[in-house]
Amino acid sequence: MDAPYNSVAPKHTIAPKRPRLTAFSWCWAALLDWQERVPLRERLCDLSDRELRDIGITRGEIDYVVANRSVDPRSVVYPSLTSVPRSKNSPR
């Protein structure tokens, strides 16, 4: 005869510990971020106004773009598909 299985979950689960971020690691991350921003800012400042306009930013937006690389400075809002007029022959 087989032994019955315990259907009750254990009180403590084993989970991997996350490394704690210390003050040193925060400073190190900030330094690495700063080291990435400086050359980017210098390269953007070296561009002419026409070249900046080609990539969609102005000279006044360089600092913002460098500090917020993942954010679109133009805040482009695209129209929804429901607001696009349809022709008479297009299926609904």
Domain positions in the chain are: 37-71
Q: Which residues contact 44 (CB under 8 A, 6 or more apart)?
A: 52, 57, 62, 65, 66
Q: What is the rounded end-to-end Cα distance, in angstroms, of the chain?
A: 66
* Cβ–Cβ < 8 Å for 65, 73: yes
| Model pLDDT for residues 42-81, shown as the tens digit of each residue | 999 999 999 999 988 899 989 988 888 776 656 655 555 4
Q: Which of 72, 69, 92 is nearest to 82 (CA)?
A: 92
| Model pLDDT for residues 15-48, shown as the tens digit of each residue | 666 666 688 888 888 899 899 999 999 999 999 9
Q: Which residues contact 49 (CB under 8 A, 6 or more apart)?
A: 58, 59
